[in-house]
Amino acid sequence: MEEDIRYAPLSALQHLVYCERQCALIHLERVWLDNRLTAEGNVLHEKTHQEGVESRPGIGIARGLQVVSQTCRLMGQCDVVEFHGRRGRGGGAPRWESVQPVEYKRGRPKSHEADRVQLCAQALCLEEMLAMPVTAGALFYGEPRRRTPVAFTPELRATTLAAVDRLHRLLDGEITPPAVYRAALCRGCSLLDVCLPRRRETPGRVSIWFGETLQHLLEEG
Amino acid sequence: MQQYLNTLFVTLEGAWLRKQGEAVEVRVEGDTRLRVPLHNLDGIVCLGWDIGASAQLMAACAEGGITLSFCTPHGHFLAAATGFAQGNVLLRREQYRRADREAASLAIAGNCVAAKIANARTSLQRARRDRPEAAGDAPLADAVEQLGNALRGVTRARDADTLRGEEGNAAHQYFSVFNHLLSGGDPEITFSGRNRRPPLDPVNALLSFLYALLGHDCRSALEAAGLDAAVGFFHRDRPGRPSLALDLMEEFRPVLADRLALSLINRKQVTSADFEKRENGAVLLREESRKKILVAWQERKKEELTHPFLGEKMTYGLLPHIQARLLARHLRGDLDAYPAFLWR
């Protein structure tokens, strides 16, 4: 029998911080809608997820690296992990002075925490796998094409661990939370048409609507 | 509202489809004939016996929720490429539970059938309003009256057999006056009742072809919403029958398929020259004509309407997707009933 420990995907963490309902629709109800934004994101990722390692003197770059954390029950892929300051081989594997996850994102730097939390979760995975501290990473936004450094401060780590906890509770509970309309977030969401956040249904509303509409059609002629 | 995504129809025998970057490429004898970005598509339908697709393309379609189907040249479903089942197993379990409960099934089936009859009636009403010569047409007025009675019967139905009886009666009434809606077309095209397997006249051949296309759209919309297209609430399960797709089709038949058939004939876009008769009496659409109808079907799907329940503007092509999701929301308990599509 297959072991029954459920790992959550790293990407789900980003969805959760953006919106719990979006996270539930994608990961519990498995709704998937490609919109222009995610399609562009996929092309951007396509470039970075060609697996492999390239080395320049003193720096290693791994693309599409699979990472996992047993303690957080998280798994996923890093776009890019940079290894700096090689220190020879201790016990076969190379040792590095510092390791940095770099995540590629479409568009502009966001005001919400989702991207930073996802990056911090990658750092938690890397720390566990490599048994070394990971203190900083970077987000690379498509416009303007530049790197935004991210320090994994105690505050960001606490936010991330709290989000991991909420994520597991949501996935274990298997209940999709009701919609709350927040214009700034909902407008940029690819699941707007599935979620329909502006429609708060009152009990019995559909039956009443259907009956009244039929009656109206019959009376018209 | 979300953009309407296109269906790519491939009718060229010998075509080979493969994934190139983020696009699907259609190749014939090694020449690339067409490239379409995958994120512009919600479906790929191959109509032919000798059309193939690469494993990589099948995987990309399954991953991206693009339905990839293989059909006969006449649009009858043969096979589809699917990945791991889409959607949520909890939702499908709820679907099966409801399908096993008579009252819950009847509530959904009743709304599907009511919407079908109401939409057929609206279609006849429109014909009476739009054409002066139809205003004094007594059989047409009578059929509208009869459909109204059937609709009242459906809303009072307490069991599935009563529902089926009203539906059969309404369908008979509707098709008995369907030829009153033909005007200005090729005089050789006449209609004397619905028949199929095989269709025996051009109108039936055209309806059968359009229903096959509509059925494909409904089946893929249900699967995309995470539902099982084979387990219905009105149509009884039979091996190999997409019962839920047939349920969902009911409300759209008069609106999407029947009206398109009528306008193609009445505008002489389709004439008797588009059909061939076989030895067994079957009447079939010619190959070139089928392509013409696929184009008309796509154009029809781009037209806009305001959704009666949601009040949002959208294209006709999105309707099956929207209704499939509304049905899923009803099954999950977000909506107290299934708001079937009532055409206004």
Q: Among residues of chain A, what percentage have pLDDT more than 90?
A: 28
Residues 6+ apart with CB under 8 A from B233: B98, B99, B104, B105, B106, B108, B109, B112, B244, B247
pLDDT of B1 higher than 50:
no
Residues in chain B: 344
Residues of A with CB under 8 A from a CB of B: 28-36, 39, 42-43, 46, 174, 176, 192-194, 196, 199, 201, 203-207, 209-211, 213-214, 217-218, 220-221
Residue with tokens 């566990």: A128
Q: How confident is the model at residue B21 (pLDDT cuts 50, 70, 90)?
A: confident
Chain centroid to CA A200: 27
Q: What is the pLDDT of residue A81?
A: 92
For residues B115 and B22, the model is more confident at B115
pLDDT of A46 higher than 60:
no
Which CA distances in Å does B101 have to B98, B106, B152, B245? 5, 9, 23, 19
Total beta-carbon pairs less than 8 A apart between chain A and chain B: 86
For residues B270 and A143, the model is more confident at B270
| CA-based nearest distance A129→chain B, Å | 29
Q: Which whole number is the average pLDDT over B105-109?
A: 92
Nearest to A206 among B39, B87, B335 (CB): B335
Q: How far apart are CA B194 and CA B108, in angstroms?
A: 26
Contact: A206, B337; criterion CB under 8 Å: yes
Q: Which residue of B has its CA nearest to A26?
A: B87
Q: How confident is the model at residue B340 (pLDDT cuts 50, 70, 90)?
A: very high
Instruction: Give contacts of B 273-332 with A, CB under 8 A.
Output: 308-310, 322, 325, 330, 332
Q: Which whole number is the average pLDDT over A25-42?
A: 60
Q: How far apart are CA A126 and CA A133, in angstroms?
A: 8
Q: Which whole number is the average pLDDT over B167-183?
A: 89
Q: Which residue of B has its CA nearest to A44?
A: B22
Q: Which residue of B has its CA nearest to A194?
A: B325
Q: What is the pLDDT of residue B237?
A: 74
Q: What is the pLDDT of residue A39?
A: 47
For residues A25 and A136, the model is more confident at A136
A210 contacts in chain B (CB < 8 Å): 111, 114, 337, 339-340, 342
Q: Which residue of B has its CA nearest to A199?
A: B310
Q: How far apart are CA B88 and CA B226, in angstroms?
A: 6
Q: Which whole number is the average pLDDT over B41-49?
A: 83
| CA-based nearest distance A38→chain B, Å | 9
Nearest to B336 among A36, A206, A213 (CB): A206
Q: Which whole number is the average pLDDT over A146-156?
A: 91
Q: What is the pLDDT of residue B2?
A: 43
Compute chain B's Rg from CA coordinates: 20
Q: How confident is the model at residue A48 (pLDDT cuts 50, 70, 90)?
A: low
The reported pTM is: 0.69
Query: Side by side, which strands form the sheet with B41-47?
Result: B6-10, B41-47, B67-71, B77-81
Q: What is the pLDDT of residue B310?
A: 81
Q: Give the tens place of pLDDT for each residue, B182-230.
A: 888 787 888 878 887 888 888 999 999 999 899 988 988 888 777 889 8
Any chain A CB within 8 A of the CB of B195? Answer: no
